[in-house]
Structure 1
Amino acid sequence: MNKQAILRDFIETVWNQGKIDAIPDFIAAQYHIEHDPGDPWDGQRLDVAGFQNRVAQSRAPVPDQCFDIQALFDSDDSVCMTWLWHGTHLGEIAGIPPSGKTLRMSGATVYRFDGQRISGHWQVADRLGVFQQLQANR
Protein backbone atom coordinates (compact mmCIF):
# COMPACT_ATOMS: atom_id res chain seq x y z
CA MET A 1 0.00 0.00 0.00
CA ASN A 2 1.37 3.45 -0.82
CA LYS A 3 1.97 6.11 1.85
CA GLN A 4 -1.01 8.25 0.85
CA ALA A 5 -3.37 5.28 1.12
CA ILE A 6 -1.91 4.34 4.51
CA LEU A 7 -2.35 7.90 5.75
CA ARG A 8 -5.95 8.13 4.49
CA ASP A 9 -6.77 4.85 6.24
CA PHE A 10 -5.03 6.00 9.44
CA ILE A 11 -6.93 9.31 9.56
CA GLU A 12 -10.28 7.65 8.90
CA THR A 13 -9.80 4.66 11.21
CA VAL A 14 -7.95 6.22 14.15
CA TRP A 15 -8.83 9.91 14.24
CA ASN A 16 -12.30 9.98 12.65
CA GLN A 17 -13.68 6.66 13.93
CA GLY A 18 -11.67 6.56 17.16
CA LYS A 19 -10.49 2.96 16.75
CA ILE A 20 -7.59 3.18 19.19
CA ASP A 21 -6.94 -0.57 19.03
CA ALA A 22 -6.00 -0.14 15.34
CA ILE A 23 -3.11 2.21 16.14
CA PRO A 24 -0.45 -0.56 16.18
CA ASP A 25 -1.36 -1.24 12.52
CA PHE A 26 -0.24 2.28 11.56
CA ILE A 27 2.32 3.66 14.04
CA ALA A 28 6.03 2.84 14.31
CA ALA A 29 7.41 1.67 17.67
CA GLN A 30 8.55 5.26 18.33
CA TYR A 31 6.49 8.26 17.18
CA HIS A 32 8.11 11.72 17.31
CA ILE A 33 5.98 14.85 17.49
CA GLU A 34 8.61 17.11 15.97
CA HIS A 35 6.66 20.38 15.93
CA ASP A 36 3.06 20.93 17.01
CA PRO A 37 2.71 24.24 18.91
CA GLY A 38 -0.14 24.17 21.42
CA ASP A 39 -0.26 20.37 21.53
CA PRO A 40 0.56 19.02 25.02
CA TRP A 41 2.71 16.33 23.36
CA ASP A 42 4.79 18.78 21.27
CA GLY A 43 8.40 17.61 21.08
CA GLN A 44 7.74 14.22 22.69
CA ARG A 45 8.57 10.73 21.51
CA LEU A 46 5.75 8.28 22.16
CA ASP A 47 5.59 4.51 22.09
CA VAL A 48 2.42 2.89 20.73
CA ALA A 49 0.69 2.92 24.14
CA GLY A 50 1.60 6.59 24.58
CA PHE A 51 0.15 7.39 21.16
CA GLN A 52 -3.02 5.50 22.02
CA ASN A 53 -3.33 7.59 25.20
CA ARG A 54 -2.79 10.79 23.17
CA VAL A 55 -5.59 9.89 20.74
CA ALA A 56 -7.97 8.93 23.57
CA GLN A 57 -7.33 12.20 25.44
CA SER A 58 -7.53 14.29 22.26
CA ARG A 59 -10.84 12.77 21.15
CA ALA A 60 -12.53 12.80 24.58
CA PRO A 61 -13.89 16.38 24.52
CA VAL A 62 -14.86 16.16 20.82
CA PRO A 63 -15.76 12.49 20.27
CA ASP A 64 -17.41 13.02 16.89
CA GLN A 65 -14.42 14.88 15.45
CA CYS A 66 -13.68 14.49 11.78
CA PHE A 67 -10.66 15.39 9.67
CA ASP A 68 -11.60 16.16 6.07
CA ILE A 69 -8.48 15.71 3.96
CA GLN A 70 -8.14 18.55 1.46
CA ALA A 71 -4.92 17.52 -0.31
CA LEU A 72 -2.01 15.09 0.00
CA PHE A 73 1.53 15.63 -1.29
CA ASP A 74 4.30 13.11 -0.80
CA SER A 75 8.08 12.89 -0.93
CA ASP A 76 10.50 10.07 -0.22
CA ASP A 77 9.69 9.47 3.44
CA SER A 78 6.74 11.76 4.17
CA VAL A 79 3.25 12.83 3.18
CA CYS A 80 1.93 16.37 3.68
CA MET A 81 -1.78 16.58 4.40
CA THR A 82 -3.85 19.77 4.41
CA TRP A 83 -7.07 19.35 6.34
CA LEU A 84 -10.25 20.84 7.74
CA TRP A 85 -11.44 19.58 11.13
CA HIS A 86 -14.77 19.84 12.90
CA GLY A 87 -16.52 18.31 15.87
CA THR A 88 -19.02 18.94 18.65
CA HIS A 89 -17.68 20.38 21.91
CA LEU A 90 -19.01 17.77 24.38
CA GLY A 91 -16.26 17.77 27.02
CA GLU A 92 -14.12 20.28 28.87
CA ILE A 93 -11.32 21.91 26.87
CA ALA A 94 -8.77 24.13 28.64
CA GLY A 95 -11.13 24.59 31.58
CA ILE A 96 -14.04 25.59 29.34
CA PRO A 97 -17.14 23.46 29.92
CA PRO A 98 -18.94 21.73 27.04
CA SER A 99 -21.04 24.03 24.87
CA GLY A 100 -22.56 21.51 22.46
CA LYS A 101 -21.43 23.80 19.61
CA THR A 102 -19.49 22.75 16.53
CA LEU A 103 -15.82 23.70 16.56
CA ARG A 104 -13.83 24.11 13.35
CA MET A 105 -10.11 24.26 12.59
CA SER A 106 -7.74 24.00 9.63
CA GLY A 107 -4.15 22.92 9.38
CA ALA A 108 -1.35 21.16 7.59
CA THR A 109 0.58 18.15 8.82
CA VAL A 110 3.70 16.49 7.43
CA TYR A 111 3.65 12.83 8.45
CA ARG A 112 6.99 11.01 8.48
CA PHE A 113 7.16 7.35 7.52
CA ASP A 114 9.52 4.54 8.46
CA GLY A 115 8.70 1.94 5.82
CA GLN A 116 4.94 1.32 5.98
CA ARG A 117 4.52 2.85 9.48
CA ILE A 118 3.96 6.47 10.48
CA SER A 119 6.86 7.57 12.68
CA GLY A 120 6.07 11.20 13.48
CA HIS A 121 4.68 14.51 12.37
CA TRP A 122 5.37 18.24 11.98
CA GLN A 123 2.16 20.29 12.16
CA VAL A 124 0.65 23.76 12.13
CA ALA A 125 -3.00 24.13 13.16
CA ASP A 126 -5.33 27.03 13.91
CA ARG A 127 -5.61 26.37 17.64
CA LEU A 128 -6.07 30.11 18.28
CA GLY A 129 -9.22 29.96 16.15
CA VAL A 130 -10.53 27.06 18.25
CA PHE A 131 -9.81 28.98 21.46
CA GLN A 132 -11.70 31.99 20.07
CA GLN A 133 -14.66 29.75 19.23
CA LEU A 134 -14.57 28.30 22.76
CA GLN A 135 -14.55 31.80 24.27
CA ALA A 136 -17.48 32.88 22.07
CA ASN A 137 -19.47 29.78 23.11
CA ARG A 138 -19.21 30.48 26.85
Structure 2
Amino acid sequence: MTPTPEQVVREFFAVVRSGREPARAAEFMAPRVQAHQVQAENPTTVERTPAQYAEHVAEMLAAWGPFTLDVDEVLAAGDKVYVRWTQHGRHVGEVDGHAPTGEPVVEVASCTYRVADGAIVEYWIQIDRAGITAQLDAARAAGARPALP
Protein backbone atom coordinates (compact mmCIF):
# COMPACT_ATOMS: atom_id res chain seq x y z
CA MET A 1 0.00 0.00 0.00
CA THR A 2 1.30 3.43 -0.92
CA PRO A 3 1.92 5.66 2.11
CA THR A 4 0.01 8.92 2.40
CA PRO A 5 1.82 12.14 1.49
CA GLU A 6 1.97 13.03 5.20
CA GLN A 7 3.53 9.65 6.07
CA VAL A 8 6.17 10.10 3.34
CA VAL A 9 7.15 13.56 4.54
CA ARG A 10 7.17 12.68 8.24
CA GLU A 11 9.42 9.67 7.59
CA PHE A 12 11.64 11.78 5.27
CA PHE A 13 12.15 14.24 8.12
CA ALA A 14 12.83 11.54 10.68
CA VAL A 15 15.34 9.67 8.52
CA VAL A 16 16.88 12.05 5.95
CA ARG A 17 16.34 15.73 6.78
CA SER A 18 17.24 15.05 10.42
CA GLY A 19 20.76 14.16 9.29
CA ARG A 20 20.45 10.61 10.66
CA GLU A 21 20.58 8.75 7.32
CA PRO A 22 20.75 11.19 4.38
CA ALA A 23 21.90 8.41 2.03
CA ARG A 24 18.35 7.01 2.20
CA ALA A 25 16.93 10.04 0.34
CA ALA A 26 16.00 7.93 -2.70
CA GLU A 27 13.46 6.05 -0.55
CA PHE A 28 11.44 9.25 -0.16
CA MET A 29 12.24 11.37 -3.21
CA ALA A 30 11.54 11.03 -6.92
CA PRO A 31 14.61 10.72 -9.18
CA ARG A 32 14.31 14.45 -9.96
CA VAL A 33 12.73 16.94 -7.56
CA GLN A 34 11.91 20.59 -8.26
CA ALA A 35 13.21 22.58 -5.27
CA HIS A 36 11.81 26.11 -5.14
CA GLN A 37 13.98 28.38 -2.97
CA VAL A 38 11.46 31.01 -1.83
CA GLN A 39 13.52 34.15 -1.25
CA ALA A 40 12.13 37.65 -1.55
CA GLU A 41 15.26 38.99 -3.22
CA ASN A 42 16.10 36.05 -5.47
CA PRO A 43 13.55 33.26 -5.86
CA THR A 44 15.10 30.32 -7.69
CA THR A 45 14.20 26.77 -8.60
CA VAL A 46 16.80 24.04 -8.74
CA GLU A 47 16.43 20.41 -9.68
CA ARG A 48 17.76 17.96 -7.11
CA THR A 49 18.34 14.25 -7.25
CA PRO A 50 18.19 12.20 -4.05
CA ALA A 51 22.01 11.95 -4.13
CA GLN A 52 22.30 15.74 -4.39
CA TYR A 53 19.89 16.12 -1.49
CA ALA A 54 22.00 13.72 0.60
CA GLU A 55 25.04 15.89 -0.23
CA HIS A 56 23.04 18.96 0.85
CA VAL A 57 22.32 17.37 4.24
CA ALA A 58 26.02 16.46 4.55
CA GLU A 59 26.84 20.15 3.94
CA MET A 60 24.42 21.13 6.73
CA LEU A 61 26.13 18.67 9.07
CA ALA A 62 29.53 20.15 8.13
CA ALA A 63 28.25 23.67 8.88
CA TRP A 64 26.12 23.01 11.98
CA GLY A 65 27.45 19.74 13.40
CA PRO A 66 25.05 17.01 14.53
CA PHE A 67 22.01 19.26 14.82
CA THR A 68 18.65 18.53 16.38
CA LEU A 69 15.50 19.04 14.37
CA ASP A 70 12.16 19.73 16.04
CA VAL A 71 9.12 19.46 13.79
CA ASP A 72 6.84 22.18 15.13
CA GLU A 73 3.86 21.74 12.81
CA VAL A 74 2.64 19.49 10.00
CA LEU A 75 -0.42 20.23 7.88
CA ALA A 76 -1.51 17.94 5.06
CA ALA A 77 -4.08 18.48 2.31
CA GLY A 78 -4.29 16.30 -0.77
CA ASP A 79 -0.85 15.82 -2.29
CA LYS A 80 0.76 18.67 -0.32
CA VAL A 81 2.31 18.61 3.15
CA TYR A 82 3.44 21.74 4.99
CA VAL A 83 6.15 21.38 7.66
CA ARG A 84 7.49 24.05 10.01
CA TRP A 85 10.60 23.23 12.04
CA THR A 86 13.30 24.54 14.34
CA GLN A 87 16.85 23.28 13.94
CA HIS A 88 19.47 23.67 16.68
CA GLY A 89 23.14 23.27 15.88
CA ARG A 90 26.57 24.77 16.47
CA HIS A 91 28.48 26.86 13.97
CA VAL A 92 31.32 24.41 13.25
CA GLY A 93 31.95 25.08 9.55
CA GLU A 94 32.20 28.15 7.32
CA VAL A 95 28.80 29.58 6.40
CA ASP A 96 28.42 32.43 3.89
CA GLY A 97 31.92 33.71 4.64
CA HIS A 98 31.52 33.43 8.42
CA ALA A 99 34.37 31.44 9.98
CA PRO A 100 33.26 28.80 12.52
CA THR A 101 32.59 30.14 16.01
CA GLY A 102 31.36 27.05 17.83
CA GLU A 103 28.36 29.08 19.01
CA PRO A 104 24.80 27.72 18.97
CA VAL A 105 22.70 28.64 15.93
CA VAL A 106 18.95 28.22 15.55
CA GLU A 107 17.32 27.90 12.14
CA VAL A 108 13.59 28.47 11.73
CA ALA A 109 12.17 27.22 8.44
CA SER A 110 9.13 25.88 6.69
CA CYS A 111 8.45 23.97 3.52
CA THR A 112 5.54 22.69 1.49
CA TYR A 113 6.18 19.33 -0.15
CA ARG A 114 4.23 17.85 -3.05
CA VAL A 115 4.09 14.06 -3.05
CA ALA A 116 3.12 11.85 -6.01
CA ASP A 117 3.12 8.05 -6.12
CA GLY A 118 4.67 7.83 -2.65
CA ALA A 119 7.63 10.16 -3.36
CA ILE A 120 8.46 13.84 -2.90
CA VAL A 121 8.43 15.43 -6.37
CA GLU A 122 8.50 19.15 -5.57
CA TYR A 123 8.96 21.51 -2.65
CA TRP A 124 8.88 25.20 -1.73
CA ILE A 125 11.23 26.10 1.13
CA GLN A 126 11.61 29.27 3.20
CA ILE A 127 14.41 29.71 5.75
CA ASP A 128 14.92 32.66 8.09
CA ARG A 129 18.29 33.45 6.53
CA ALA A 130 18.35 36.95 8.05
CA GLY A 131 17.98 35.39 11.50
CA ILE A 132 20.87 33.00 10.86
CA THR A 133 23.05 35.86 9.60
CA ALA A 134 22.19 37.95 12.67
CA GLN A 135 23.26 35.08 14.95
CA LEU A 136 26.53 34.61 13.05
CA ASP A 137 27.24 38.36 13.10
CA ALA A 138 26.51 38.54 16.85
CA ALA A 139 28.87 35.64 17.56
CA ARG A 140 31.61 37.30 15.53
CA ALA A 141 31.03 40.66 17.25
CA ALA A 142 31.19 38.99 20.67
CA GLY A 143 34.57 37.56 19.74
CA ALA A 144 33.54 33.91 19.88
CA ARG A 145 36.50 31.60 19.49
CA PRO A 146 36.75 29.42 16.38
CA ALA A 147 35.37 25.92 16.81
CA LEU A 148 37.92 23.24 17.61
CA PRO A 149 38.36 20.55 14.95
TM-score of Structure 1 vs Structure 2, range by shorter chain:
0.7 to 0.9
- 1: distance between equivalents of 2:99 and 2:52? 26
* Aligned-partner SS, 1:137: helix
Pairs within 5 Å for 1:88-103 = 88-103=90-105
Which segment is superposed worse, 53-62 or 126-135? Answer: 53-62
Task: Tell me, in whole angstroms, the C-alpha distance in 2 between the residues paired with 1:120 and 1:87.
Answer: 26
SS of residue paired to 1:68: strand
SS of aligned partner of 1:92: coil
Equivalent residues of 2:35, 2:122 under 8 A apart: yes
CA distance in 2 between partners of 1:59 and 1:125 (Å): 16
Alpha-carbon separation, structure 1, partners of 2:17 and 2:44: 18
What is aligned with 2:60? 58
| Partner SS state of residue 60, structure 1 | helix
- In structure 2, the gaps of 5 or more residues are 141-149
Q: What is the total number of aligned residue pairs between the two structures?
A: 136
Residue type matched to 1:79 in 2? V
1:118-129 aligned within 5 A: 118-129=120-131
What is the RMSD computed on CA atoms of the aligned residues?
1.9
List alignment gaps of at least 5 residues for structure 1. none
Q: Could you say which residue in structure 1 is the equivalent of 2:147? A: none
Go from structure 1 to structure 2 and tell me whether the alpha carbon gap of 1:36 and 1:59 turns closer, same or farther (over 3 Å shift): farther
Q: Percent identity?
A: 24
Show the counterpart of 1:25: 27
> TM-score if structure 1 supplies the norm length?
0.88
1:72 matched to 2:77: no
Q: CA deviation at 1:37?
A: 2.5
Task: Provide the C-alpha distance between the structure 2 equivalents of 1:61 and 1:42, rounded to a whole number of angstroms.
Answer: 22
Contact kept? 1:31, 1:51, Cα under 8 Å = no
The equivalent position to 1:87 in structure 2, one of 83, 89, 93, is 89
Q: Which is worse superposed, 76-85 or 14-23?
A: 14-23
Structure 1 residue aligned with 2:46:
44
Counterparts of 1:124 and 1:17, CA distance in 2: 19
